[in-house]
Amino acid sequence: MFDFGDYNAGDLLWLGDWSPTWVAILAILGVVVIGISAYDLRNLAAHRRWTLVGLRGIVYAVAVMLLLEPAIDLKHISKVKNDVAVLVDTSRSMGLKAGEDADETRFDRASAALDEMKPLFERTKEDHNFHFYAFGDDVRPSSRNALAGARPNEDASDLTGAIEKMREELDVENLGGVVVVSDGIDTGAIGRRIKRGEDVDEATLDLLEELDSPVNTLAAASEEGLRDVAVARVLHDDFAFVHNKVSIDVDLQVVGMEATTFPVQLRREGELLQTRQVSITPDKTDYKVSFELVPERIGKEIYTVSVPEFSGEVLTENNISHFLLNVIRDKIRVLQVVGRPSWDERFLRRHLKKNPNYDLISFFILRTDQNVQLVPNDELSLIPFPTRELFEEELGSFDLVIFQNFNFGPYNMRHYLSRIAGFVKDGGGFIMTGGELSFASGGYARTPIEDILPVYLPPVGQSDSVIDLEHFRPNLTKAGLHHPITQLAFDPQSNVKIWSELPKMRGTNIVTGAKPDATVLATHPNLTFNGKPMPVVAVSEKGDGRVMSLTSDSTWRWAFENVGSGGTNREYQVFWNSAIRWLIKDPELKLIDVEVPEDVHAPGEPLDVTVRISNPDYTPAKNTKGVLKVLRRPLSEPRAEELPAQELVETIEFHTDHSGEAAVSVPVSQTGVYELVAQASTKAGELNDRDIFLSVPDVNEFRQIIPRDKLLASLAEASGGHHAVLPDFEASSLRFEPPSYVKVNRRKVIQLWDSFVLFFVILGLLGTEWTLRRHWGRM
């Protein structure tokens, strides 16, 4: 009667527009009709009675069914496969041995697991679409065969990122499950949030709930049989303030070791700074060590944290960690030493104290050991000059030392002069200003101080010719027109005009010319030596430091007389601020600047460096030629007595563009400490700048190599998935959701109520009931 053809599914439909209330009323009415019929036929024999009642009930039921208009909905359907994601960890830690006695690596186990899952993939391909991904520091689509033959060489293991990428590419509502094959060392958000021994956190539970499908986890290894000591993490700020305490926190991970004690060492440029002893026990994995130090020099420095290497360790590359610390100034610490109070001293001290960027320590000599004393020392309010404290204990904490009309003789400090010279050569700044107690008048000829000054001093014994009292205005030299110290205006003509209108200086100390390495910024208009004008303002670089000599003590008049005539003290402030900034090597005053974008760069890829060159007025130096020298020295071993020698890697020529910049690609093929030296010839003379960066392999993946199979197990448990530690694994244990969607290819509705067959069935039932009732004596 009905042709079902190749339809493979069907449903019964009720096409009648009857509400549930009416259906209930019809059902109740049917019960009432049957009850009345049974009561009416109570005198008949039981079998006759219930035969008639049954026929009437069937007739009523068929009639009601016709009212409800039944139909059959025939469909040909096919299942819509859901998606299953297989995430395989290809980070470098997967290349480690699976255990102390294992010959296979963790990734070997992962490959074997993929082979074991192959029959499962084939058997269930009608229900699931399998998507394969390799994840490390990024996520890449792959295939089963490609994953089985892959190399674990990624520098991170971001399981969190892999799940997020999978969510973007696949429809989560049609996700049937996830399979994660990893050692559990997640460097992503999940691994950072959930520490060892902790339960799954709320954020991870929310992520698993959004997936709404089982996450099966296969651990490539467990911590059993593993032996390793690792510097897991070194926590430090990107920069530190010079002469301020800085903390360095070290996280250690130890597994498979017996109870013992070993040292943790902190080194700077190979020099051992501090050692901490760590006592370990077999039942504890994580340890913390802290170091505190006070940087004494400004600039970038290479530090190293190391632990000993033990026999049987799975890996020794993680026993050492190098990092770069950039030391900067908090405030500019200035030591001002004054031989006797004066207007020059007063104006300079007030200028320094008013500026919040300066931390000023001033000493004024109001009495010496030769002064006549009528009372004992302990009853005097003035203290003797603290030479030992200043020049032996605290000297290194200053950025700049100013000798202002100060002679060292009365204080028995000749042996400290070499310390001041050493302070400059180590990177400090030094100024000597004029006065009757300065330069040769202060006895500095043939001393270590003269060695660092940019000028020569007259021989000792010519006291009648070491000071000139004539008033004068200094003349700017060609170098002085553009030098930051004497550049009171960017425009050279305006600068010359300002200097020509400054109040005259009243006297000068006599010097006998500039040294070959000195830069003379201003000269005396009348005094000469060997036919050359005598330097008044001169500067030079000594070692890593800088020195300025100013042979007069009259700059205070630039402020005093200008203000008195209705002007400002701008020229005085600009001169001294610029002098101090140049002496301490303020980066903002550099006319050439090497910008290294990364303090730490992995070897193998070139590093893009920017060289910026400015004109003396700080406008871009366009189309300027220069060279960048790339120097490298190997990383020092923890117990090396001296630093390895530096070698020239390459010399690269460059030209600046319209903005005064040049992009230079620096080759970084090996690990080590790289120093970049930029050199260029400009209107301001020979310029150079340098910067360093550290090139070390990115071994963050090896900082923590202890497998986290318990983390994987907790993820599987929280999501309803299956967890196993390889190689003990059965593919049939993996849990996937069955497909929840079907596709209707064809459909046909057959109306059962609209049929003569049912009409004749009702007539037949009614006729049978009437015939039997008449035959049994009922009307």
Nearest to 134 by CA among 118, 125, 121, 146: 146
Which structural domain range is residue 198 located in? 82-225+707-738
* pLDDT score, position 475: 94
Task: Looking at the structure, tell me whether residues 289 and 360 fall in a common domain.
Answer: no
Residue 630 placed within a domain:
yes
Rounded to whole angstroms, the Cα distance separating 578 from 546 reads: 13
pLDDT in tens, 83-98: 899 999 998 888 888 7
* pLDDT score, position 632: 93
Task: Looking at the structure, tell me whether residues 23 and 160 fall in a common domain.
Answer: no
- The DSSP secondary structure of 421-464, one letter per residue, reads HHHHHTT-EEEEE-STTSGGGGT-TTSHHHHHSSB--PPTT-GG
Q: Interior CA angle at 610 toward 608 and 611, to 5°? A: 140
Adjacent-strand bridge partners of 403: 337, 432
Domain at 182, CATH number: 3.40.50.410
Task: Looking at the structure, tell me whether residues 479 and 530 fall in a common domain.
Answer: yes
Residue 40 placed within a domain:
yes
Cis, peptide link before residue 295, omega less than 30° from 0: no
pTM of the model: 0.66
pLDDT in tens, 651-680: 999 999 999 999 999 999 998 999 999 999
Domain at 476, CATH number: 3.40.50.880
Lowest mean pLDDT of 371-380, 453-462, 699-708, name the range. 371-380
Task: Looking at the structure, tell me whether residues 183 and 102 fall in a common domain.
Answer: yes
Dihedral, 679, 683, 684, 690 alpha carbons, nearest 10: -20
The pLDDT of 432-440, averaged and rounded, is 92
Task: Looking at the structure, tell me whether residues 399 and 545 fall in a common domain.
Answer: yes
* pLDDT score, position 748: 73
pLDDT in tens, 299-329: 888 999 999 999 888 888 888 999 999 988 8
Q: Within 13 Å, how many C-alpha atoms sit on residue 263's CB side?
A: 9
Domain count, the chain: 5
Domain at 680, CATH number: 2.60.40.1930
Residue 211 has pLDDT above 50, yes or no: yes
Task: Looking at the structure, tell me whether residues 443 and 539 fall in a common domain.
Answer: yes
pLDDT in tens, 626-637: 999 999 998 876
